[in-house]
C-alpha cells in the first residue's frame, strides 16, 4: 500500500526507467522561451534511448511561432506524462540544449521517429530537405517520478 505522501509525489524513477518511459510514450509538451515569454506545445518525438530526442515541426502559423521560439531557445524542456488514475501515473522531464539538425542527420532522426514517436506516419513521410524542420534536444538532465505503475 502506498503512503499518502508517496501517492502524491511518487517515487523517483531510475535513468533506465526514464529512458524506457520516453521510448514508450513518444509525445509530450515541449517548453521553449523567447524574449522571456514561455511557449509550451504538445509534440511527438523520436528518442534514441539515452540522450537525443528528435522533433519534426510540421504545419505552421502565420507568425511561425514554433520556429521563432525554437530559434531563440538555447535550452528547452520536455514533459512527458502518463496518468491512468490518481494512484497510477508517471512523468519525466528532460532538459537540455536545442538545435536544428543538419540534412546529414535526417535519416537517423527519421528512423528514431518511426520507431517510437506518437503517430510516426505523419512525421516520417516528410521529405528530406537541405534544411529540415527537425530539431534535437540533447538531454543534459532527466528526472522522473511514478506511482503505482511498474
The predicted pLDDT at position 127 comes to 56
Q: How many CB atoms lie within 10 A of CB 141?
A: 10
pLDDT of residue 111: 86
* % the chain with pLDDT above 90: 55
One-letter-per-residue 3-state SS of the chain? CCCHHHHHHCEECCHHHHHHHHHHHCEEEEEEEECCEEEEEEEECEECCCCEEEEECCCCCCCCHHHHHHHHCCEEEEEEEEEEECCEEEEEEEEEEEEECCHHHHHHHHHHHHHHCCCCHHHHCCCCCCCCCEEEEEEEEEEEEEECCC
pLDDT of residue 124: 52
pLDDT for 96: 98
Find out whether 96 and 140 touch, Cβ atoms under 8 Å: yes
116 touches 122 (CB < 8 A): no
Q: Which residue has the cell 491512468?
A: 84
Comparing CA positions, the residue from 47, 55, 56 lying closest to residue 115 is 47
- Higher per-residue pLDDT: 26 or 1: 26
pLDDT band at 129 (very low <50, low <70, confident <90, very high): low
The pTM score is: 0.84
Rounded Cα–Cα distance for residues 134 and 105 (Å): 9
Highest-scoring range by mean pLDDT, 3-17, 63-77, 107-121: 63-77
Amino acid at each position: 500500500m502506498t503512503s499518502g505522501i508517496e501517492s502524491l509525489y511518487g517515487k523517483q524513477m531510475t535513468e533506465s526507467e526514464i529512458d524506457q518511459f520516453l521510448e514508450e510514450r513518444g509525445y509530450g509538451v515541449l517548453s521553449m522561451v523567447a524574449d522571456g515569454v514561455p511557449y509550451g506545445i504538445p509534440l511527438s518525438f523520436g528518442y534514441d534511448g539515452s540522450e537525443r530526442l528528435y522533433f519534426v515541426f510540421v504545419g505552421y502559423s502565420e507568425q511561425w511561432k514554433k520556429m521563432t521560439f525554437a530559434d531563440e531557445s538555447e535550452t528547452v524542456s520536455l514533459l512527458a506524462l502518463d496518468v491512468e488514475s490518481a494512484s497510477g501515473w508517471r512523468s519525466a522531464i528532460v532538459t537540455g540544449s536545442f538545435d536544428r539538425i543538419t540534412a546529414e542527420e535526417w535519416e537517423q532522426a527519421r528512423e528514431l521517429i518511426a520507431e517510437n514517436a506518437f503517430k510516426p506516419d505523419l512525421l516520417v513521410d516528410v521529405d528530406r530537405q537541405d534544411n529540415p524542420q527537425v530539431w534535437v534536444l540533447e538531454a543534459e538532465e532527466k528526472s522522473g517520478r511514478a506511482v503505482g505503475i511498474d
